[in-house]
């Protein structure tokens, strides 16, 4: 478990903790420390790397924040872990908001991602998920007046399909974009009393998924995402305005 053999490209002015972060990252990414392995004790790491224990502690904090190591159930022991969607999502969200990405860019992204996911889901979705979608559509049908539930149900509908696609790379990308996209667009969409239109599209998508018809599922998803933009424009909102922050920081 000695770390001294790792080749590290020297970086000028790099603080000590950051070079420790990179050394440990290399061990984890290369699989030398596998997901599930225990991370060596601070004192061992400090000795192996020839740095102070407090430097190790700083590095561990950064690795924890990035989801590469985690303590189980509040215990003291640290384990190597694969970063979860939540570890990544808040960081992409921050980049999107602070780079002042526009609603149009989000919409264009969703128009790219959602049809691809439903196409993948058509051949991979389970009967259980189809039933969950059915239940979701039935609850949506009676929620036209309750705008908050409508938003939640819509997010759930699309989330179920994303998961059913089985594509984890696309899901990682989609998560932060959808969290910014759906609430913003649906607040408008529901003001136009477009609930009926929403349920109609969801029903068509579900029907295509039940029939394992990837092309039709894709086509309806595309129409559905195009509808969002129409709703936004009907409400005379500026689609080229920056997204802004919905105001929630997840406790990672």
Q: Which residues of 21-35 are buried (b: 16+ CB within 10 A; e: fewer)?
A: bebbbebbeeeebee
Beta bridge partners of 38: 79
What is the smallest separation between the CB atom of 191 and its own copies, expressed in angstroms?
Answer: 24
Q: What residue ranges bind its own copies (CB under 8 A)?
A: 9, 11, 13-14, 17-18, 21-22, 25-26, 28-31, 35, 58, 61-62, 65-68, 74, 81-85, 87-88, 91-92, 94-101, 105-106, 108-109, 111-113, 116, 120, 166-170, 172-173, 177, 244-245, 247, 249, 251-252
What is the smallest separation between the CB atom of 228 and its own copies, expressed in angstroms?
Answer: 15
The residues near 193 (Cβ < 8 Å, ≥ 6 apart) are 144
**C-alpha–C-alpha distance, residues 244 and 241, integer Å:** 9
- Closer residue to its own copies in complex, CB, 202/218: 218
What is the smallest separation between the CB atom of 49 and its own copies, expressed in angstroms?
Answer: 16
10, two tokens: 């020297």
What is the smallest separation between the CB atom of 188 and its own copies, expressed in angstroms?
Answer: 19
What is the smallest separation between the CB atom of 21 and its own copies, expressed in angstroms?
Answer: 8
- Closer residue to its own copies in complex, CB, 17/185: 17
- Closer residue to its own copies in complex, CB, 106/209: 106
What is the smallest separation between the CB atom of 193 and its own copies, expressed in angstroms?
Answer: 29
What is the smallest separation between the CB atom of 6 and its own copies, expressed in angstroms?
Answer: 10
Centre a 10 Å sphere on the Cβ of residue 36 and count the other Cβ atoms it contains. Answer: 9
């Amino acid at each position: 478990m000695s770390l001294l053999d790792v080749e590290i490209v020297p970086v000028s002015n790099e603080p000590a903790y950051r070079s420790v972060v990179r050394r440990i990252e290399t061990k984890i990414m290369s699989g030398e420390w596998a997901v599930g392995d225990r991370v060596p004790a601070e004192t061992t790491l400090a000795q192996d790397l020839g740095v102070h224990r407090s430097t190790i502690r700083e590095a561990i904090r950064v690795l924890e924040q990035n989801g590469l190591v985690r303590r189980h159930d509040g215990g003291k022991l640290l384990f190597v872990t694969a970063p979860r969607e939540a570890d990544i999502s808040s960081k992409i969200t921050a980049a999107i908001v602070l780079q002042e990405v526009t609603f149009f860019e989000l919409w264009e992204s969703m128009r790219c991602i959602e049809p691809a996911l439903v196409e993948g889901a058509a051949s991979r979705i389970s009967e259980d998920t189809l039933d969950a979608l059915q239940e979701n559509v039935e609850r949506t049908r009676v929620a036209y007046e309750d705008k908050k539930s409508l938003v939640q149900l819509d997010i759930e509908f699309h989330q179920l399909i994303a998961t059913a696609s089985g594509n984890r790379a696309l899901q990682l990308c989609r998560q932060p974009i959808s969290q910014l996209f759906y609430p913003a667009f649906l607040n408008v969409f529901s003001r136009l009393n477009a609930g009926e239109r929403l349920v109609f599209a969801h029903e068509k998508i579900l029907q295509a998924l039940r029939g394992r018809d990837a092309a039709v599922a894709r086509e309806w998803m595309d129409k559905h995402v195009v509808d969002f933009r129409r709703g936004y424009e009907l409400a005379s909102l500026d689609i080229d305005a920056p997204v802004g922050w919905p105001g929630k920081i997840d406790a990672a």
